[in-house]
Amino acid sequence: MRTVHLLSVLVLIAAVGSATAGSPDPQILADRIDQHLSARFKEEKAEPSGKADDAEFLRRAFLDIAGRIPAPCDVHEFLADSSPDKRRRLIDELLDSPRYATHFADVWRTQLIPEVLASAEARYFQPGFEAWLRQRLRAGVAYDAMVRELLTIPIAGVRQSPESVFRDPERPNPLAFFAVKDARPENLASTTTRMFLGIQIECAQCHNHPFARWSREQFWNQAAFFAGIEREGDGLFAPLSEDTERHDLMPTDGKKKVRALLLDGKEPAWKPKASPRAALADWVTSPENPYFARATVNRLWGNFFGIGIVEPVDDFNDENPPSHPELLDDLAKAFVESKFDVRHVIRGITLSKAYNRTSARTHPSQDDPRLFARMGLKGLTGEQFFDSLALATGYRDRVADRGAFGRNAGTPRERFLREFAPQGKPSAPETSILQALTMMNGPFVTAATNVEKSSTLKVVCELPGLTLNERLEALYVIALGRKPSDSELKKLEDYVARSESAEEPRRLSDVFWMLLNSAEFRLNH
């Protein structure tokens, strides 16, 4: 018995040992982050805000990694847990959950094919593109491999028999990336450099910018890597072909053909028969590439703090220096050393003191968002917002509501995604009048805050044996992922006591309405 026990312990130790040997300790990265930020606090005489309490951290981590608020059981479990490493364990659990893949598929899709927000046609490609991203994220494919696959996805078609870009809407489909960009070399080149290298070269498309490092010629050099791609016919659904022998193209309004050259000015080693895209992808994702890792960690940082170390996150240029250059270097280094493991960087960021700070302002020095002296407020994506609202109100999309091509065009989720698509900077989220009216008077929230129609409210109001305070607390946990403060309870007791006890459910519905309409619910804080 004793031997068996010992043996299993030994096996466990060996397993843990090998795991840590394979992947670097994210705590080291987290400490580096805080060293760099603290150095700046000293220089600027800034006073960072205190540590966020467990509930604030829990909601933030859920929204940032799982894409929705925590369920009440998550809240109770986390608040009751007294072990010192519970935040670290939470992050690990969230990163291993299917919700991570779902949410980050949304995140990457928004950045890679923003066209789907504007164009109804492009939206047909969304399920397939997200399915491809989810599959890769779930399988833990390294970021560089994912990017290489995306850029080099074979286009098997030739001009006489081009390849279809759209067969089954639900089937994983990275070709969507090419299709929604009209398969145009200019669009593909500008997305590639902006997204993967943090360089906005498209401004050089028409003319040389006086301050920019990049020339018009270089823009067309990049576009030439995609020159062989041809769309046969009009519209996003038209099939594609590729002539892999083509390494040059004629710029719009140009007189002379421009050939494919890397941004470092070198001509890649062409492999026979291979698409020129392969040479571009190899260079872009190389550990030696000076831009790739930096651009990626900066995007990730921006995702978790609302504002990049270089901001905007995709505009690296001499006129727009990083707020913390050494921090950016360290993050990039850690990313390369982890073999481009996005989750390692996320662990490092979320374990840092910086990410664990409260968003409540405690000192005027915290007003400069680029010091990261307090957690900034972030907007929610349409998906984060609706999925949180659905969880809080107990709503489920019915399969019967699914429209053609899996687009659910008429479902509440689809309507909310359109209406609540984020606008403005992530660190300066805005709310429109129509959004406010939708939440105040719209049918979804009206039903969710009606005692007769809302299952959530019914349970909270009718579960026998609960005190009023417990019912109020339940609503806070459901909507805001925290317990109400004493002063909040006091005010709400007074509010409910305004009418007779028979009216209590109606008063509780008012409280639930108030919570769903609050800025605290609407924002990631």
Partner 1 sequence: MNSQFSRRAFLGTAGSVGLSGWLRSFAAETTLDPRRKRSCIVLWMSGGPAQTDTFDPKPDHANGGPFKAVETAVPGIRIGEHLPKIAGHMKELAVIRSMKTKEGDHGRATFHLRTGNMPQGAIEFPTFGSLVSNERANPDSDLPAYVSITPRGLAPDSLSAGFLGPRHAPLIVGGRTTEVGLNEVADGGLRVENLARPGSVSKDQATERLELLRDMQTEFLSSRPGTGTKSHQSAYERASRLMSDSAAKAFDLGGEKQALREQYGSSTFGQGCLLARRLVERGVPFVEVGLGGWDTHDNNFKQVQSLCQTLDSAWAALMTDLKDRGLLDSTLVVWMGEFGRTPGINPRQGRDHYPNAWSMVLGGGGIKGGQVIGKTGKDGIDVEERPVSVPDLLATICGALGIDQQKQNMSNVSRPIRVVDPSGKPIREALT
Q: Is the CB of 202 or the CB of 383 nearer to partner 1?
A: 202
Q: Does 23 bind partner 1 (CB under 8 A)?
A: no
Instruction: Give the bridge partners for 158, in sequence order.
Output: 161
Q: Would you give the binding string for partner 1 spanning residues 194-233, x where CB under 8 A is met?
A: x-----x-xx------------------------------
What is the distance between the alpha carbons of residues 336 and 330, in angstroms, rounded to a whole number? 10
Q: Would you give the binding string for partner 1 spanning residues 320-359, x where CB under 8 A is met?
A: x--------------------------------------x
Among 99, 184, 425, 458, binds partner 1 (CB under 8 A): 425
Q: Which helix (H) or strand (E) holds 346?
A: helix 342-351
Q: Is the CB of 30 or the CB of 179 nearer to partner 1?
A: 179
Cβ partners under 8 Å of residue 268, min gap 6: 260, 262, 276, 279, 280, 282, 283
In the block, which residue shows the tokens 């995604």?
A: 417
Where residue 232 falls (left for φ over 0; alpha for ψ -120 to 50; beta otherwise) is beta
Q: Does 520 bind partner 1 (CB under 8 A)?
A: yes
Among 10, 437, 463, 497, binds partner 1 (CB under 8 A): 437
Residue 288's identity, in one-letter code, is E
Q: Is the CB of 335 or the CB of 521 nearer to partner 1?
A: 521
DSSP count for the chain of H helices, then E strands = 26, 4
Q: Is the CB of 77 or the CB of 121 nearer to partner 1?
A: 121
Q: Would you give the binding string for partner 1 spanning residues 401-420, x where CB under 8 A is met?
A: -----------------x--
What is the distance between the alpha carbons of residues 151 and 188, in angstroms, rounded to a whole number? 9
**Collapsing DSSP states into helix, strand and coil, what is residue 155?**
coil
Q: How many CB atoms lie within 10 A of CB 56?
A: 20
Q: Report how far apart, in Å, the C-alpha atoms of 231 and of each of 34, 237, 238 are.
A: 49, 9, 6
Q: How far is the CB of 507 from partner 1 (least distance, A)?
A: 9
Q: Are 210 and 318 in contact (CB under 8 A)?
A: no
Among 370, 488, 489, 505, binds partner 1 (CB under 8 A): 488
What is the distance between the alpha carbons of residues 452 and 120, in angstroms, rounded to a whole number? 37
Site size with partner 1, rule: CB under 8 A: 61
Among 53, 168, 326, 430, binds partner 1 (CB under 8 A): 430
Among 378, 413, 471, 482, binds partner 1 (CB under 8 A): 378
Q: Does 114 bind partner 1 (CB under 8 A)?
A: yes
Q: Is the CB of 351 or the CB of 445 nearer to partner 1?
A: 445
Give the range of 131-139, 262-270, 282-290, 376-384 binding partner 1 by CB under 8 A. 376-384
Q: How far is the CB of 205 from partner 1 (least distance, A)?
A: 8
Among 88, 259, 407, 525, binds partner 1 (CB under 8 A): 525
Residue closest to 330 by CA, chosen among 348, 314, 356, 312: 348
What is the distance between the alpha carbons of residues 65 and 45, in angstroms, rounded to a whole number? 32
Q: How far is the CB of 5 from partner 1 (least distance, A)?
A: 51
Q: How far is the CB of 97 from partner 1 (least distance, A)?
A: 27
In the block, which residue shows the tokens 């050099």?
A: 221
Cβ partners under 8 Å of residue 89, min gap 6: 83
Among 79, 360, 409, 489, binds partner 1 (CB under 8 A): 360
Q: Report how far apart, in Å, the C-alpha atoms of 389 and of each of 14, 33, 68, 446 are.
A: 44, 33, 9, 13
Site for partner 1 in 117-176 (CB under 8 A): 117-120
The residues of the shown chain that bind partner 1, judged by CB under 8 A, are 114, 117-120, 187, 190, 194, 200, 202-203, 312, 314-315, 320, 359-361, 367, 376-379, 418, 423-425, 427-438, 440-443, 446, 450, 488, 491-492, 495, 506, 510-511, 513-514, 517-520, 522-523, 525
